[in-house]
Structure 1
Amino acid sequence: MADELELLRRANPVPVDGPHFGDGPLDHHAERHLDRLLRERPAPLRRRTRLAWGLAATAVVAALVSALLFTGQTTAPAVAAPRPLLVQADSTPVPLTTLAERAGAAVADGAPKLRKGTHVQAWSLAMSDSEPPITLPQERIVRWNADDSHTEIVMATDPRHPGRPVLTDEDGEPRPVEDGHVLSRQTYPPSWSDAPPQSPPPTNVARLRAYLQEAAYSKTPLNTGELLDAVASVLGTWTLGARESAALARLLADTEGIRPLGQVTDRLGRRGQAYVYDGSGTRRMLIMDPATGAVLGLETTFTKAEPEYGVRAGDVMSYSAWMR
């Protein structure tokens, strides 16, 4: 509990020793932190959940198995972690420099345009030190209005298994819900913040790198893993246009440690080129459109087993698939 309280204190956008009283206006830095707390839900990675969570998960799975046995159903909800994406064996890896050139050529007609808002399918692994991990699939749609307010809708759905029950852990208790069940629908007021990722991403590579660093709330240059995480954060606010995708492809081509693997078919059935970065205990795979350089998805897998959480090397930690 002490650790959790300390995390909350650090996240507090208006600390007691801050320049404003709790009921006063937020400064620029505080508003950015508050906006991040309201909009972003951290992936449930490596958290030590309460024993009650593990018992509830066991009860849910047991109830589902019983229902399947006694009702004669042959379809089961998505419980196990999705398998990692496989690279096509006979495909030829496309260097990022080549992809960046293709993306630059695709800018000629100026379409598509940059758009504020996002539509993403995501899978994340919820882990407990007492029960096997389960996968929580969600779909998130964010739409921005002319007055800079925005609405966020989060649904429990898994396109790999349309129509099947979906597991969710809303309110801290895992339970099955119907496919397409709306978990939350919230409207947020306008924000005056113009700091990344609220401000539009630039199309100049040097400025884009600085933009991603600021979006990651870092005062020091980002390593490759942090850079990819910052890209995912920006894609939680923006759907990149042709110019922004080309700039990002050029930036990634100049980033150390990212290597091409070949062609993959993502979880939405789209063909893309895979680029991987091996970090400490994890592998990030970026899937990009082979013609335009647009980011289609980002998959993070474990490269080392975590026996205390029931995680094996190769298990998918999280996956995001972005759509226009």
Structure 2
Amino acid sequence: MPDELDLLCRANPVPAHGPYFGDGPLDHHAERRLELLLAGDERRPVRLRTPRARLWWGLAATAVVLATTFTALLGGPSGQPAVAAPRPLAVRAQSTAVPLDRMARLAAAAATDGSPGLRKGTHVQSWSLGMSDDGPPVTLPEERVVRWHADDSHTELVVATDPRHPGRPVLTDEGAAPHLVADGQVLSRTDYPPSWSDAPPEARPPHEPAALRAYLAETARPGPGAGTLTTSELLDSVQELLDHWTLGARESAALVRTLADAKGLRPAGQVTDRLGRPGQAYTYDAPGVRRMLILDPRTGAVLGLETTFTRDDPRYGVKAGDVMDYSAWMR
């Protein structure tokens, strides 16, 4: 047991008592981009962190929970881990692949009455792969709800939950080594004071494609002269936008048109997302990873975004086909 405990303790390369940046920890998008810059062409995988600082859970974990954690991370008597990464979404065989240009026309037709409308705030279910030099990779599922109030303050609620396995314990790493918590356990509830920022992604997104393209460019590269985005940067900006706003029909139509004008997004066919919803999938290949965008086939609304490794990296114990992260947005 001491050896297993040491292994578990070393699984978190950023301990809760370690030094942080003066302005707070980077979000997982910033960490990924920083890591790509530092790694150059290697494109080494990143240990993803949750978007904002969370409370440190696990101080009151019992011996039973710890024992269950070891079983989940290191394998039980059968040697098979109890907590496994989700499999990549599979495109339905012989399904029809709808080009993005046609999807943009469908989305525009669905937005003629402007309903549903734009809403500030988000409801997202996410899975992210936590990696370290010393421990095996583990998948960390959570659900996040952000609600804004009339005075421009907002509340963020983060819950440990995995709809694939309702009722089962959920793995988390809230500032500590990965450990199990009860399904539905509140990881954090944070109230933020009023904010009147007029910069993306806090600013209201436009519903004209050209204006939305400029908005997303400023989200990726704050300040004047953002320039043209690469497709990878565009997808990062889309994720940032959807982590702040629940798009209305007109904004979704503008977004699909913007995506249709991007290079490298290929129609793949029909999928069922991790919340059981039908969708049209579009893939984009970048060095070492494949990104899959899932759109609602009727309205063009973004349902999800998945990033999957396309090559092995023994340093982190990841293999081609492992899911790096996945987000599923809901209304």
Number of the residue aligned with 1:104: 108
How do 1:115-134 residues align onto structure 2 when only pairs under 5 Å count?
115-134=119-138
**Is 2:181 the counterpart of 1:177?**
yes
1:81–1:316: 8 Å Cα contact kept in structure 2? yes
Q: Which amino acid aligns with 1:301?
A: T
* Residue 257 of structure 2, aligned match among 250, 270, 278: 250
> 2:120 is matched by which residue type in structure 1?
K
What does the per-residue CA deviation read over 1:6-39, in whole Å, with 9 as the maximum and x for residues that have no partner? 9836xx4xxxxxxxxxxxxxxxxxxxxx8xx69x
Higher share of residues assigned helix: 1
**CA–CA distance in structure 2, aligned partners of residues 231 and 118 of structure 1:** 13
Residue 276 (structure 1) aligned with residue 283 (structure 2): yes
1:212 and 1:202 map into 2 onto residues whose CA distance is 10
- Match of 1:304? 311
Residue 292 (structure 1) aligned with residue 292 (structure 2):
no
TM superposition shift of 1:173: 1.9
Q: Percent identity?
A: 62
Cα gap change, 1:271 to 1:195, in 2 (>3 Å): same
- Answer yes or no: is the 8 Å Cα contact 1:120–1:141 preserved in 2: yes
Is 1:232 the counterpart of 2:239? The answer is yes
| Offset at residue 67 of structure 1 (A) | 11
SS in 1 for 2:201: coil
User: 1:48 offset after TM fit, Å?
Assistant: 10
Partners of 1:48 and 1:129 within 8 A in 2: no
| Residue 47 (structure 2) aligns with | 47
| Structure 1 contact 116–143 (Cα < 8 Å) conserved | yes
CA distance in 1, matches of 2:245, 2:91: 28
Runs of 4+ in 1 over 2 A off after TM superposition: 5-9, 40-45, 58-69, 217-221
1:138 equivalent in alignment to 2:142: yes
Match of 1:53 in 2: none
For residue 21 of structure 2, what is the aligned residue in structure 1?
8
Q: CA deviation at 1:95?
A: 0.3
Retained in 2: the 8 A contact 1:282–1:303? Answer: yes
How many Å apart are 1:108 and its aligned residue?
1.7
Correspondence 1:81 to 2:89: no
Instruction: Look up the equivalent residue of 1:316 and give its one-letter code.
Output: V
SS of match in other structure, 1:88? coil
Aligned length, in residue pairs: 281
Counterpart of 2:70?
62
Structure 2 residue aligned with 1:217 = 221
CA RMSD of aligned residues (A): 2.8
Partner of 2:41: none
State whether residues 309 and 320 of structure 2, in contact with CA within 8 Å, keep that contact through their aligned partners in structure 1.
yes
Name the aligned partner's letter for residue 161 of structure 1: H
Shift of 1:213: 1.0
Instruction: Extract unaligned runs of 5+ from structure 2.
Output: 1-12, 33-44, 50-65
> Displacement, 1:220?
3.7
Counterpart of 1:202 in structure 2 is: 206
State the one-letter code of the partner of 2:232: G
Question: Aligned in 2, Cα 1:193/1:110: closer, same or farther, shift over 3 Å?
Answer: same
Residue 81 (structure 1) shift: 1.1
